Amino acid sequence: MDWINIAVTLIKIVVLTFMVLLPMIAYSVWAERRVAAKIQNRVGPNRTGIPFTKFGLFGLGQPIADGLKFIFKEDLTPAHVRTGYFWLAPALTMVPALMTCAVIPFGSELNIAGYKIPLVIADLNVGPLFIFAIASLSVYGIVLAGWASNSKYPFLGGVRSTSQMISYEISLGLSIVPIIMIFGELNLTEIVKWQDANGWLLFPFWGGGEFWQEALLLIPVVISFVIFTVSMFAETNRLPFDLPECETELVAGYHTEYSSMKFALFFLGEYAAMIIGSGLAVTLFLGGWSLPFGIGSELVDKPLWLGIAHFFSFLIKMIGFILFFIWVRWSLPRFRYDQLMRLGWVFFFEIALANVFLTAFILLYFN
Amino acid sequence: MAIVVKRPKLTFGEKIYLSSIAKGMMITIGHFWRALFGKGTVTMQYPEEKWDENLPEYYRGAPALVTDEQDRERCVACQLCEFICPPRAITITPEEIPSDDQWAKVEKRPQKFEIDMARCIYCGFCQEVCPEQAIFLRKDYAITGVSRDEMVHDKKKLYEIGGVREGLVNKWNKLK
Amino acid sequence: MSDDKQQGVPMVNVQIDGEWHQFPKGTRMIEACRQVQVEVPHYCYHPKLSSPGNCRMCLVEMGMPPRLAPGEEPVKDKDGHQKIGWMPRPVIACANAVAENMGIRTDSELTKACREGVMEFLLVNHPLDCPICDQAGECSLQEYSAEHGKGDSRFRDEKNKKPKNVEIGPRIRLDDERCIMCSRCIRFCAETVDDPVLGFTDRGSHTVLAVHPNQQLANDYSMNTVDICPVGALTSNDFRFQMRTWFMKETSSICTSCGRGCNTTIGSREGTVFRQTPRDNNEVNSAWMCDHGRMNYHYLNSEARLTDPMIRKNGEEAHQVVPWSKAIRFAADELLKFNASEVAVIASGRMTNEELFMTRRLIAELSVEHVDIVLRRGKADDYLVAADKNPNTAGAKLVLGLKKPGGELAAIQKGIESGEIKALVVLQENLIDDTDFTTELLGKLDFLLTTYPLANPTADDSHVVLPGAAFAEKDGTMINVTGRLQRLNKAHQGPGQTMEVWEICRDLILAIDGGNGIYGVDDVFKEMAGQIKAFAGLTLSKVGDQGLPLLKTKLTVPMLEREKERIAKGEIVG
């Protein structure tokens, strides 16, 4: 029995990280470029398809070509860097992003021949805390990259990144406190199950639950959602908060001195963080894998199909959220650094704190 | 002197920027939506589609030397283009025109005239500064080569690109 | 214009552009203006030549106090100056001297109109040759037409045709269309070098400059006419179409072709010297230099330059190129094999004091007894050329402590012949071509080290050949025949791996002995000033652009003496 569990877990790790998450990372880069191009009335990468043929397939071969290019580029380690840390840094940004996907429930459970496989790698009781704990490690990657590069722009990028990530982690953490208070639960699987039963947190229009309490709770939930999303942008160093790499000021910021696959790890680490962020947002606010409007009810007697439907429900929501990330990036200009700090410390921190009390009040009074 | 720029007074709604953010995002998604159905995209698929016949007269392509109706090379090697060239792409070695030449009265011509097209930035300063109407930026824009040496246009190549240009001022003809 | 001659001359008050100044009586108006940084444009005026006043470019408005009626008291302003009565017509500033209470206006409407008019007349027949004219970039006509000209031409007729591209001498080309008839060249030839071969023929706008029939402008100072020509009428065959003036980096240096040490400006670009022109120094060369010295730079750009250190071990046929470190190490090891009495050093009077001083240290390091330089005697002329063809014989004598330069060479030859001298160090000399040393004699040596800028027979026979920098490629000082200490400045780094001889000596000393605390040429001079009395208290920067009198000699410069006489007579400003 134990061996089967271990084997199943290993298969889940392989499938979910290497066959779901990594391709998603690659194709979110492609999506980013295509969407950016469309927004700017361009075409974007549309030619890289099947090699030696004219089949472009909307440029779907582009991520593979990019990957090959990165692998075959000269991997340059400048003479003036701290080699050990310099090599460690890219791994330190990529690994935490991949590790966090362990607790994200990608679906309910797959019922294969009576054997129920929950679609989450590690069903931890402290899901969100685990994610924050691990995700905040990625700041070390950036700081190390900036410091080990031994060059001024990477250093400035690293310094900016540290203060930015530390600042926004506070509001990020505080913003989900009300959510956890509403769920009364820290296990992400249970949280999704709760939403499946009571309606999504942001759209509590179906399922059970008291109408008035739910309607009132929407206020703190929306506030939480806004703070969470914006902080997520800041945490993943994406525009409008991409000051650590800020091309116009810092050349390329912390990864200026990197080339080849090491650079690619930073680049992809950012997308991995974005995907995990989207996954978390979907799990906490948009019902995770649960289907809206009770659509899945006719599939109850076919548990395998229901599990697959849940999985795709989650994927579609996550992709939608990623597209939202991309959309924001190509719409909004970059913040000034002082504005960024002001927003984090003066507004979000206070609002998130007040939101906790507001939620507590609502929960207490309308219970 | 410092100029104080008056900042506009913003209302609270403007100050939190949310409405402007929403407005901006609606614009970008509008573009996205139209482009998704192939409208508004201005990209040209370069090697297949070209715009060559539409290039304007003032198009700044590769610089080249020209000869005139009398088959005289216009350049007198004054080296002003070499001087003005921002990336220092031009190198000229002047020489005296031998006395048995038809145009010996012009006295000076370039022995070597080299433009390093790997350096050229197509700014057109050379054409602008030329007192002899000898160098023009032509419409050639796809300059390729497989080595750095190949990217250097020598005098022969430059006259080949430049060709004959008519209707220029012929001040040297008036000389004895 | 030296101030000490003005001692005892009464001062006069002159108002220039509204400001009152004091000048010695007799100062030309143009010089007075120049002294207070007011530039009066001029073509024909040159301080070293007589002033015919024929270009009219220096017209200024002048005023004097009105003549008083008998018994009338002069009207004075609060500063005690009389009211100036301005003359209705302008005067030339170059040939008139200042007087008490005179007023000069160089920026009045009248002056400006005069300049504009003169410029327009000068440009009427001037060809649009600037793109091919060597003077372009340093042409007074270009400068003044930009500053004082009208900007466009009202002249619609055909320009006069005149002879172009005429060889009027072996080194000079004349373009008559460009000539503006300033007559500087005519006066220079007639007054300064006593070779009156130039003159004007024809009249009016058909006037042309020409050499007299069956004559040529061939004297040894002819190329000075190119320098003083304000336009491109006279150009040098040597510099013709070589490089535009604005590309050249100008480095103040001195000519090293004879002991005079004429002050020069080296024009070079990207490691190539294109010309040398004389630089004003009233104690050395006035404003002139000889053609031979001026053109004696071509070897710098020669294909035959040595660019890399080379060694040839015993038994090997050919030299092999090696890095400096290896060459120096090899040379030092070889030199250390011999006793002090078996080594001789032949330095050169073409080396700078700094190089000679490091040679002296090398000599001390090896305790060498046989030291000498190669003498070069030639003919002096009655102008600038000195009989001593070494630029720094005095320096070699002083720094190396030679009693009789050139006197030891015979002894060295004898020593080699007898086998007493087994190793020879030759610095910047080509013994086989320039002295009576022969290949056979040098073949008797066990070790021969040569430094020289060019490949030469002595180098062929050497075991170590080091590329030594030539004059435009080194910093340092030299002492000319009249005992003046003058500076050479480095125009550019020599070709390839070339090093200055002081650096070579420093490295040799380092290889023999270890540290010596010498890093730059300033350090060498500092140490030299500490050890040699004549240099005491001096630094390299104190020598300056004009040099310093260092040694007392009774020699004079014939050309300067004549100029002094003419200054005394008031013919020239000087």
A169 touches A132 (CB < 8 A) = yes
Nearest to A80, CA basis, from A158, A150, A155 = A150
Number of domains within chain B: 2
- In percent, the amount of chain B with pLDDT more than 70 equals 99
pLDDT over threshold 50, residue A257? yes
Residues B34 and B119 in one domain: no
Residues B73 and B127 in one domain: yes
Amino acid B168 reads L
- Rounded to the nearest angstrom, the gap between the alpha carbon of residue C436 and the centroid of all alpha carbons in its chain is 32
Instruction: Name the residue of chain B whose CA is nearest to A347's CA.
Output: B16
Q: What is the mean pLDDT of residues A4-28?
A: 84
* Beta pairing, strands C320-321 & C310-311: antiparallel
Token output for C93: 């500033």
Q: In this structure, what DSSP letter does residue C169 have?
A: S
DSSP alpha helices (H): ranges in chain A? 2-13, 22-39, 62-72, 83-99, 127-135, 138-148, 152-183, 188-198, 211-235, 247-250, 260-285, 303-329, 337-342, 349-366
Residues C57 and C134 in one domain: no
C232 touches C175 (CB < 8 A) = yes
Residues B25 and B105 in one domain: no
Q: Do A42 and B42 touch (CB under 8 A)?
A: yes
Token output for A301: 């007697």
Residues B38 and B89 in one domain: no
Residues B98 and B123 in one domain: yes
pLDDT over threshold 90, residue C500? yes
Residues C17-56 pLDDT 10s: 999 999 999 899 999 999 999 999 999 999 999 999 999 9
pLDDT-derived band of residue A2, with 50, 70 and 90 as boundaries? confident
Q: C455 in a domain, yes or no? A: yes
Residues C100 and C163 in one domain: no
Closest-CA distance, C136 to chain B, in angstroms, reads: 9
Amino acid B22 reads A
Residues B67 and B24 in one domain: no
Q: B4 in a domain, yes or no? A: no
Q: A63 in a domain, yes or no? A: no
Q: What is the dihedral of CA B21, B23, B26, B28, to 10 degrees?
A: -70
Query: Which of B24, B29, B43 lies at the smallest CB-CB distance from A43?
Result: B43
Which whole-number Å values give the CA distances from B176 to B133, C154, C177, C180, in the listed order? Answer: 21, 23, 11, 19
Would you tell me the crossing angle of helices A22-39 and A62-72 to the nearest 10 degrees?
110
Closest-CA distance, B38 to chain C, in angstroms, reads: 55
Residues B36 and B100 in one domain: no
Residues B23 and B59 in one domain: no
Tell me the C-alpha distance between C363 and B101, whole Å.
60
Q: A57 in a domain, yes or no? A: no
Q: Do C247 and B171 touch (CB under 8 A)?
A: no
pLDDT-derived band of residue C1, with 50, 70 and 90 as boundaries? very low
Closest-CA distance, A79 to chain B, in angstroms, reads: 28
Please state whether at least 3 CB pairs lie below 8 Å between chains A and C: no
Sign of the alpha-carbon torsion through A204, A205, A211, A216: positive
Which whole-number Å values give the CA distances from C466 to A141, C435, C448, C455, in the listed order? Answer: 55, 20, 11, 10
Q: C479 in a domain, yes or no? A: yes
Residues C243 and C329 in one domain: no
Q: Is the peptide bond before A240 cis (omega within 30 degrees of 0)?
A: yes
Query: Which of B21, B36, B43 lies at the smallest CB-CB distance from A42?
Result: B43
Residues of B in contact with C128 (CB under 8 A): 171
Q: Do B83 and C240 touch (CB under 8 A)?
A: no
Query: Which of B24, B31, B35 lies at the smallest CB-CB distance from A332?
Result: B24
Tell me the C-alpha distance between B70 and B67, whole Å.
8
- Say if C136 is an interface residue toward chain B (CB within 8 Å): yes
Q: B21 in a domain, yes or no? A: yes
Closest-CA distance, B40 to chain C, in angstroms, reads: 51
Which of A35, A39, A47 should one mutate to test binding to chain B, selecting the residue with the greatest count of B CBs within 10 A?
A39
pLDDT over threshold 60, residue B31? yes
Q: C416 in a domain, yes or no? A: yes
pLDDT confidence of residue A179: 85
Tell me the C-alpha distance between A142 and A253, whole Å.
10
pLDDT over threshold 50, residue C2? no
Q: What is the mean pLDDT of residues A158-169?
A: 85
Q: C290 in a domain, yes or no? A: no
**Chain A adjacent subunits, 3+ CB pairs under 8 A:** B
Lowest mean pLDDT among A78-82, B96-100, C193-197: A78-82
C50 touches C114 (CB < 8 A) = no
Q: Please tell me the total number of residues recorded for chain A in this structure.
A: 367
Residues B109 and B149 in one domain: yes
Residues C99-132 pLDDT 10s: 999 999 999 999 999 999 999 999 998 998 899 9
Residues C80 and C161 in one domain: no
Q: B170 in a domain, yes or no? A: yes
Residues A307-316 pLDDT 10s: 788 888 888 9
Q: Do B96 and C164 touch (CB under 8 A)?
A: no
Token output for A5: 């569990």
Which of B26, B31, B32, B36 should one mutate to test binding to chain A, selecting the residue with the greatest count of A CBs within 10 A?
B32
Q: B158 in a domain, yes or no? A: yes
- Rounded to the nearest angstrom, the gap between the alpha carbon of residue A199 and the centroid of all alpha carbons in its chain is 22
pTM reported for the whole predicted model: 0.74
Residues C214 and C332 in one domain: no
Residues of C in contact with B106 (CB under 8 A): 132
Tell me what ipTM this predicted complex has. 0.82
- Rounded to the nearest angstrom, the gap between the alpha carbon of residue C357 and the centroid of all alpha carbons in its chain is 24
Tell me the C-alpha distance between C429 and C348, whole Å.
6
Residues C417 and C544 in one domain: yes
Q: What is the mean pLDDT of residues B140-145?
A: 88
pLDDT over threshold 60, residue C5? no
Q: A248 in a domain, yes or no? A: yes
Tell me the C-alpha distance between A285 and C543, whole Å.
83
Q: Which domain holds residue B36?
A: 14-43
Closest-CA distance, B4 to chain A, in angstroms, reads: 21
pLDDT confidence of residue A132: 84
Token output for C241: 């179409």
Query: Which of A38, A328, A331 lies at the smallest CB-CB distance from B35?
Result: A38
Q: A186 in a domain, yes or no? A: yes
Q: Which domain holds residue A323?
A: 73-366
Residues B28 and B87 in one domain: no
Q: Which residues of B touch C (CB under 8 A)?
A: 76-80, 82-83, 94-96, 105-108, 131-132, 171, 174-176
**Chain C adjacent subunits, 3+ CB pairs under 8 A:** B
Residues of B in contact with A35 (CB under 8 A): 32
**Hey, which residues does A110 pair with through a beta bridge?**
A117
What letters, b where the CB count within 10 A reaches 16 and e where it falls short, cover C246-256? eebeebbbbbb
Report the half-sphere exposure of C332 (CA within 13 A, side-chain side): 19
pLDDT confidence of residue C465: 95
Q: In what order do the strands lie in the sheet with C166-167?
A: C166-167, C172-174, C234-236
Number of domains within chain C: 3
B91 touches B60 (CB < 8 A) = no
How would you class A111 by CB atoms within 10 Å of its CB: exposed for 0-12, middle for 13-18, buried for 19 or more? middle
Tell me the C-alpha distance between C34 and C57, whole Å.
15
pLDDT over threshold 90, residue C261? yes
pLDDT over threshold 50, residue A158? yes
Q: What is the dihedral of CA C495, C500, C503, C504, to 10 degrees?
A: 80
Query: Which of B78, B174, B176 lies at the smallest CB-CB distance from C132?
Result: B78
Q: What is the mean pLDDT of residues C498-523?
A: 88
Residues C425 and C496 in one domain: yes
Q: A350 in a domain, yes or no? A: yes
Q: B37 in a domain, yes or no? A: yes
pLDDT over threshold 70, residue A296? no
Residues B156 and B71 in one domain: yes
Q: C257 in a domain, yes or no? A: no
Q: Which domain holds residue C33?
A: 3-107
Phi, psi dihedrals of residue C479, rounded to the nearest 5°: -115, 125
Residues C224 and C85 in one domain: no
Residues C373 and C470 in one domain: yes
Q: C567 in a domain, yes or no? A: no
- Say if C165 is an interface residue toward chain B (CB within 8 Å): yes
Q: In this structure, what DSSP letter does residue C66 have?
A: P
Q: What is the mean pLDDT of residues B160-169?
A: 89
Residues of B in contact with C165 (CB under 8 A): 105, 107
Lowest mean pLDDT among A211-220, A233-242, C83-92, C485-494: A211-220
Q: Cβ contacts of residue C403 below 8 Å, gap of 6+? A: none
* CATH number where B81 lies: 3.30.70.3270
Q: Do B41 and A330 touch (CB under 8 A)?
A: no
Tell me the C-alpha distance between B70 and B73, whole Å.
9
Which of B79, B93, B101, B103 should one mutate to test binding to chain C, selecting the residue with the greatest count of C CBs within 10 A?
B79
Q: A24 in a domain, yes or no? A: no
pLDDT over threshold 60, residue B111? yes
First to last CA, chain B: 58
Query: Which of A37, A39, A43 lies at the smallest CB-CB distance from B28?
Result: A39
Q: Do B41 and A331 touch (CB under 8 A)?
A: no
Lowest mean pLDDT among A15-24, C219-228, C430-439: A15-24
Q: Do B28 and A37 touch (CB under 8 A)?
A: no
Q: Please tell me the total number of residues recorded for chain C in this structure.
A: 574
Number of domains within chain A: 1
Instruction: Name the residue of chain C whose CA is nearest to B109's CA.
Output: C132
Among the candidates B5, B24, B43, a domain finishes at: B43
* CATH number where C459 lies: 3.40.50.740
Tell me the C-alpha distance between C276 and C288, whole Å.
11
